[in-house]
Amino acid sequence: MNRSNAPYPDYKRACGWKETAELSQKHPRLTGSQTCDAIIIGAGYTGIGIASQLAKLQPESDIRVLEAETIGAGSPGRNSGFVLEHAFTGVNAEATGELYRHYQSTQNAMREIAYPGAVTANSTIFKGAATDRGMRNLSTLASLLKKSGQPFEWMSPERLRSITGSSYYRAGLNLPGNSLVNPYALISNLARSLPATITLHEQSPAIHLSQTSSGWLATTPEGALQAPQVFLANNAFAASLGFGNAYSVKIFTYAGITPKLPADLFAALAPEGQWGLLPAHRLGSTLRTTDDGRLLIRGFYGYEREGNDATRSYLEQSLLNRFPELSSYGLEEWWGGTTSLTANGAPLWGQLKKGLFASIGCNGVGILKGTLLGQQLANLASGQPCLNVHELMGVPIWMPPEPIRHIGFNLVSAVERRLAGAER
Ligand SMILES: Cc1cc2nc3c(=O)[nH]c(=O)nc-3n(C[C@H](O)[C@H](O)[C@H](O)COP(=O)(O)OP(=O)(O)OC[C@H]3O[C@@H](n4cnc5c(N)ncnc54)[C@H](O)[C@@H]3O)c2cc1C
């Protein structure tokens, strides 16, 4: 198969976190023809959430996870590492508040099993606005947080300067309870915490999925798995296996990281300790410090493209707009990662066909959301009580096919980029 249109990731650029963490795991590829009780496609936050919950509910079952790459080499380990228990989207304020409480419990459980070696201690996480539009967005968000019972505190420009060392931002919302992690270390820890009844197969992409008389058959380059139940947890790549294309689209977003900065320079950028800033506009830039004294920036969206030198320049310019003192350092590494967007932000979640379950469409935020939705999907598939995900998050709406979809994305993102202004 030509890897450029393969139904699994084929990243050209290595991710900066991977080298930082120097963690790796070895699980066997799938070889030969085998049968099992459940197949999970994708070992990201969603797939591991499904696997851990299925193992609790069905301890005797033979559960297999097919991962296209090595654990964490893809989006689960390529992200910016904000573990967000604040909920920003729900069908209404009440649902948003309920989601917040579920994300809190999800983080509490994750903290116990996967934070050692992955979490940044004592970080301050906040939304920051640099423009009038951004300030208005923060006010709207503040009223949602208030109505939905989520904690926050307004931050003045002076407070923001004393945290980031930069005068770029005009207002902020402090969001207590969230965490910064090294995502590569986090997903590796989560995978390691799975019970022995779960078998992980790395470097084993599902390249074809078909329905059979007794369930589902997933084919990989060197083997095949047959099971009565299959779970699609491969997010942006589910559509390439033939499911969810009418509701979701694969979008790349990008991150870059500086080299390790001299101690005095880093101290000037983080006078009070580690921090993470979320943008006040959806096309704005996310920034954070890291335990090893670097600054990471995430920004920009590309339609099904991993990015090129222009992407790097875009990220670097956004960084230097805020921190001109970094001009002689720039970005040491930059990379792209996939996310799956739906038109209205609702996930494609539930049983799509008999024995075929899916949780896809992370819409750019997925560490806690993916874990929670994965666990709930396992409950649904096992006939256990589960959250009414559609009532809380809505259902995704239909997206037009190509080429209208591509043209539509480019138009919307051009307009949004303009509106984002200095939040980019
Ligand atoms: C640059 C960047 C920054 C981000 N920052 C944040 C952040 O700070 N906080 C946050 O919460 N979210 C962030 N996200 C989004 C976050 O990474 C995703 O929401 C999250 O990873 C979704 O988890 P998931 O398990 O649903 O899907 P994914 O993480 O995409 O995992 C899917 C897994 O399936 C595998 N796979 C794909 N196709 C196949 C196949 N055919 N067969 C087998 N396996 C397959 C992939 O290799 C991958 O391991 C960011 C994303 C990017 C790209």
Q: What kind and span of H or E run contains 376? A: helix 367-381
Mean pLDDT over 64-93 rounds to 95
Residue for token digits 């984002």? 420
Question: Which secondary structure element, helix H or strand E, spans residue 192, and what is its range?
Answer: helix 183-192
Band the pLDDT of 3: cuts 50, 70, 90: very low
pLDDT at 25 over 70: no
pLDDT of 223 > 90? The answer is yes
pLDDT the model gives residue 236: 95
CA of 206 to the centre of ligand 1 (A): 16
For 187-229, the DSSP string reads HHHHHHTS-TTEEEETT----EEEEETTEEEEEETTEEEEESE
Sign (positive or negative) of CA dihedral 113, 105, 255, 363? positive
Q: Between β-strands 82-83 and 171-174, what pairing exists: parallel, antiparallel or unpaired?
A: unpaired
List, in sequence order, every beta strand (DSSP E) within 37-99. 38-41, 63-66, 82-83
Q: Is the CB of 334 under 6 A from ligand 1?
A: no
Question: Residue 2: what pLDDT?
Answer: 43
**Distance between CA atoms of residues 252 and 391, nearest Å:** 28
The alpha carbon of 27 is separated from its chain's Cα centroid by a whole number of angstroms, namely 23
**47 CB within 6 A, ligand 1:** yes
Look up residue 302 and give its two tokens.
Answer: 């590309």
**pLDDT on residue 32:** 98
Contacts of 254 (CB under 8 A, 6+ apart): 298, 299, 300, 302, 307, 311, 314, 315, 334, 335, 336, 337
**Is the ipTM value over 0.85, yes or no?**
yes
Pocket test for ligand 1, best of 5, 79, 103, 125 (most atoms within 8 A of CB): 79
Percent share of the chain, pLDDT over 70: 97
Instruction: Check if the beta carbon of residue 335 is closer than 8 Å to that of residue 183.
Output: no
Q: How far apart are CA 204 and CA 103, in angstroms?
A: 30
Q: What is the mean pLDDT of the chain?
A: 94
Confidence category of residue 417, pLDDT binned at 50, 70, 90: confident
Domains of the chain plus CATH, in order, are 3-78+185-248+343-400 (3.50.50.60), 123-176+250-340+414-423 (3.30.9.10)
Lookup result for tokens 């202004």: 421
Residue whose C-alpha is closest to residue 136's, from 280, 4, 321: 280
CB 63 within 8 A of CB 51: yes
Share of the chain above pLDDT 90, in %: 88
Tokens representing residue 319 in the block: 């960084």
Q: Is residue 66 in contact with ligand 1, taking CB distance under 6 Å?
A: yes
In tens, the pLDDT along 331-360 reads 999 999 999 999 999 999 999 999 999 999
Per-residue pLDDT, averaged over 212-237, amounts to 97
Q: Which helix (H) or strand (E) holds 201?
A: strand 198-201
Q: Among 123, 235, 257, 286, say which to mutate for ligand 1: greatest number of ligand atoms within 8 Å of CB.
A: 235
